[in-house]
């Protein structure tokens, strides 16, 4: 396998629905051995997860990695906070955006880059209810136009 090839493990399907994503950042993630084995079997859920900066370090919360079925005492809590690996200057940039402009960090996807697990974080603002309705109406109109374009 090439070092730069990537295989997607999990995707946060509601991230683009609930947030307007301005920018994305790739981060490494600190995991234990049984968590990696569980991830390789594809038992990860990013739906309710979020990231936050605590004491100058970035953590992801509420990311559910199911316990490894063949693991024993080495299995960890499925919802424990996991540290994300970013350079200091990237963390300072994120802190500035979050504090001044009201952005939030949203986990978008989890994937393998070579043999390392990486997470794509989105920097975005939460959408209001009317924004979500407007987006759904726009998609419905595009679908309708596509269906009736051949007629």
Using one digit for the tens of pLDDT, what is the confidence trace for 11-23? 888 888 788 888 8
6-148 CATH pick, 1.10.10.60, 3.30.479.10, 2.40.280.10, 3.30.1300.10: 2.40.280.10
Burial group, residue 38, by CB count within 10 angstroms (0-12, 13-18, 19+) = buried
pLDDT tens by residue, 104-144: 889 999 998 888 889 999 888 887 877 778 888 888 888 88
In the chain, where the domains are located: 6-148
Residue 1 has a pLDDT of 41
> How many other C-beta atoms lie within 10 A of the C-beta of residue 21?
15
What are the structure tokens assigned to 78, written together? Answer: 């499925």
pLDDT tens by residue, 24-64: 899 999 888 888 888 888 888 888 888 989 888 999 998 88
């Amino acid at each position: 396998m090439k070092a730069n090839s990537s295989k997607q493990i999990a995707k946060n399907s509601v991230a683009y629905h609930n947030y307007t994503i301005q920018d994305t950042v790739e981060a490494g993630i600190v995991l234990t051995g049984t968590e990696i084995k569980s991830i390789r079997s594809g038992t990860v859920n990013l739906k309710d997860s979020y990231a936050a900066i605590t004491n100058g370090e970035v953590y992801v919360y509420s990311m559910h990695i199911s316990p490894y079925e063949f693991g024993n005492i080495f299995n960890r809590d499925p919802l424990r906070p996991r540290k994300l690996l970013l350079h200091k200057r990237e963390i300072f940039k994120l802190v500035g955006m979050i504090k001044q402009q009201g952005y939030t960090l949203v986990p978008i996807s989890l994937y393998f880059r070579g043999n390392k697990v990486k997470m794509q974080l989105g920097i975005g603002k939460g959408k209001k209810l009317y924004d979500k309705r407007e987006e759904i109406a726009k998609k419905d109109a595009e679908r309708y136009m596509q269906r009736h374009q051949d007629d």
